[in-house]
Structure 1
Amino acid sequence: MEDTPFDIHQLDDLDYDAAEPILDDYQDTLINLFANSPEGQTYLETNPEMGAWIAQLIYYGYCYESFTLPKMTKNDVKTVVEGLFPRKVSLLSPEEADDAIPELMAFWQFLKREFKLSNAGSILTYLRQIQPKFKNIMNDSSRFGLAKSFFAMGQQAGFDMTTPEGLEKFQQFYNANIAPKIAAQNSESFGMFGGLLDSLAAEAGASKATSSKVPKEKQKKTRSTKQSRTRNSAKKK
């Protein structure tokens, strides 16, 4: 590694309370370094935006599983890509999943070259293997978490689930038209989505893969990925 002031190890061995104040800057700086690297520039030639999936990998890996990039194994990345992503990350269309693996592969190629991460080779092999399957994995409703299921239900009903207003309108629609039918069939399911509005505004609406990208024309500027991160589930549970 030459001439880079960025310390990729700064989250290692920190608990969440110590890492939380620096997590945003860690993501933003690293994504900008990637965007301006040879690997990032090559990726931008065919992909006008980048950063969303990298931000999700760092955020969900660290906040839910305490994974950091330098210590991530192939199985750690698999946990995030095949477990947390399909459960947590809502898409506006199934095709948005197509960008994920190419972006992550370019990113790990950058990490391998720039930071000499020994784990990068096996992770890249895994990403190449999962690429043909990932779109189906991301859109498999049996893998969705509660918030993502609610988000998808609202989308299918024609509501704009990307705004608090849209979320609230669908919650009202759900309470008036869907919940009573569920309650008649199963009393436990009646309250399944109860009280979700506050968390959905942060999680389902803000965790869309499209919400944190680096447009090509702004790649030289410091970016903010705050909208890409869920705030209601900050600590590992």
Structure 2
Amino acid sequence: MKVLQSFLAAVVTFTRIPILWHLPAEAFSRASLYLPVLGWLVGGVQFVILMVASRWMAQDVALFLALLFPCLLSAGMHEDGLADFADGMLGGHTIPRRLEIMKDPRVGSYGVLALLIVSGGGFLALRNTAMDLQGRTLLISAVLSRSVCIPLLGTLPYLNHAGSRSQGFIPTSFHGWRTLLPLWPIIPLFTFLPSIPAMIAFPLVWGLLILWLRRYLQKQLGGLTGDCLGAAIKICEFSLFLLACLLWPQSPP
């Protein structure tokens, strides 16, 4: 029962899907640990959208619709985090100033540039990935990008607890070996990787991104915020799209 409640809490927290079932506050404190499971739901729907839409319209349009789905599902939650993250990190010279900028609901030039690069670059990378592997790439990236949050939550302190909207969704006792347990959803992904190089490259890039993000956040902020997690998801997703384009380039016509 607790597992189901926590997953439903993750659905309520990170999407706009309404859940009529009353959920206890404890379930919401574990919601972020179910992000990898939610990635399967999001990536699975993206896969279906791409497969179905490509039968009735141009592949580029079908791909655009598949990429649009997570943004609509979460009302741009992760994209908003990326924009705030870019504005704060690039526009502030001290930790307090960076955090202050990230709290500002307005989007600055750095945030706009980050959204353009990640969204546009991600689309171009997928567009130039082998057509029969675009759906797999969407599914793999949806799961791995959300899984990147788990090690960050387990190894970095969460900042701005007072008044933070994300405070209720952050686990209070989550460290050490416990950080590995919620990562079990990434194991089945290996069945979707069609080659040994891909089985090596995707986990390697994913692991390197975690190490880089952790070091960067520790140095620049001394911890993380909800915006940092949203940015981490989008940065990881974008990086995996580029990797897929590199591993599985689309054959020239």
Asked if these proteins are the same fold (TM beyond 0.5), I'd say no
